[in-house]
């Protein structure tokens, strides 16, 4: 088990929260043009480096610890989409969202004692954790090769590779792929997708129903 240095964790938290903040601001603000978007993104990144409680990263760290590598990578994808004017691309596809929700439920149930699997400590294992990371990386590469959801698959691959090199954010492979905010985002994505499916089915039935 190799843990990252505290200084590395602090730097990572500020950088990652900066990317998360930039993605959130760019998604909420109706900005047009590269310069306004770049100014907002740089402002979000710079604000995280303010000292002590003046930094949003300080408060976010108290509430949510550190972002996972995958959360930061997906937020980076969201920022890239805004600059590339590609809002039609899905940042968090339903399949990945469902996998994150299911994985999070198992991990959190195990953490509170509803299950007795000991999964989180397994994420520190010197053999099993790297093997799982390699398997997931190969799956992400297969998705990329098949031409489906390139951005999300690259985000998964980047998060796993970054964790393998730096062991950030905590040294645990599960923390590289999941955190509370990412889990909530995935849950909201699944609910929205299910609602859209049900709504589309109801509209189709209404259109096919015979009129009297």
- The domain total for the chain is 1
In a domain, 65, yes or no: yes
The band of 113, judged by pLDDT with boundaries at 50, 70 and 90, is confident
Cα angle at 83 between 37 and 48, to 5 degrees? Answer: 50
CA distance 92 to 183: 11
User: pLDDT digit string (tens) for 49-74?
Assistant: 999 999 999 999 999 999 999 999 99
In a domain, 1, yes or no: no
Which pTM does this prediction carry?
A: 0.92
In a domain, 142, yes or no: yes
Q: Which residue range forms the structural domain that includes residue 65?
A: 6-208
Q: What is the pLDDT of residue 87?
A: 61
User: pLDDT digit string (tens) for 190-212?
Assistant: 999 999 999 988 888 888 777 55
In a domain, 145, yes or no: yes
Q: Say which DSSP state 89 is in.
A: S
Number of other residues whose CB lies within 10 A of the CB of residue 59: 12
């Amino acid at each position: 088990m190799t843990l990252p240095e505290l200084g590395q964790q602090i730097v990572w938290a500020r950088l990652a929260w900066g990317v998360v903040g930039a993605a959130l601001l760019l998604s909420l603000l109706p900005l047009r043009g590269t310069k306004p978007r770049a100014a907002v993104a740089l402002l979000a990144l710079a604000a995280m480096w303010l000292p002590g409680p003046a930094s949003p990263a300080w408060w976010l760290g108290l509430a949510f610890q550190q972002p996972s590598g995958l959360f930061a990578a997906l937020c980076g994808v969201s920022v890239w989409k805004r600059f590339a004017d590609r809002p039609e691309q899905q940042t968090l596809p339903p399949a990945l969202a469902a996998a994150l929700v299911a994985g999070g439920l198992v991990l959190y149930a195990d953490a509170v004692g509803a299950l007795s699997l000991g999964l989180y400590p397994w994420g520190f294992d010197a053999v099993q954790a790297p093997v799982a990371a390699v398997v997931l990386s190969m799956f992400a590469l297969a998705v990329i090769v098949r031409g489906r959801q390139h951005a999300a698959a690259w985000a998964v691959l980047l998060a796993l590779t970054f964790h393998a090199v730096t062991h950030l954010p905590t040294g645990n492979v599960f923390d590289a792929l999941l955190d509370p905010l990412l889990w909530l985002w995935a849950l909201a994505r699944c609910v929205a997708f299910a609602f859209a499916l049900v709504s589309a089915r109801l509209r189709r039935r209404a259109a096919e129903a015979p009129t009297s």
